[in-house]
Amino acid sequence: MIRKMDDSVSVAPQITPEDVADIAAAGFVAIVNNRPDGEDPGQPEGAAVRAAAEAAGLAYTEIPVTQAGFSHPQIDAMVQALEEAGGPVLAFCRSGTRSCNLWALAQAKQGRDPDVLIAKGREAGYDLNGLRPLLEALSGKA
- pLDDT, tens digit, for every residue of 12-66? 999 999 999 999 999 999 999 999 998 988 899 999 999 999 999 999 999 999 8
Residue 107 to residue 130: CA distance in whole angstroms: 16
Is residue 67's pLDDT more than 90?
no
Is residue 102's pLDDT more than 80?
yes
DSSP characters for 61-112? EE----TT---HHHHHHHHHHHHHH-S-EEEE-SSSHHHHHHHHHHHHHTT-
What is the model's pLDDT at position 69? 83
Is residue 142's pLDDT more than 80?
no
What is the model's pLDDT at position 55? 97
Phi/psi at 118 (5° precision): -65, -40
What band does 8 get if pLDDT is binned at 50, 70 and 90? very high
Residue 132 to residue 27: CA distance in whole angstroms: 31
What is the model's pLDDT at position 23? 98
Q: pTM of this prediction? A: 0.95
Eight-state DSSP code of residue 32: E
Is residue 137's pLDDT more than 90?
yes
70-97: pLDDT as tens digits: 999 999 999 999 999 999 999 999 999 9
HSE-CB at 85 with a 13 A cutoff on CA atoms is 25
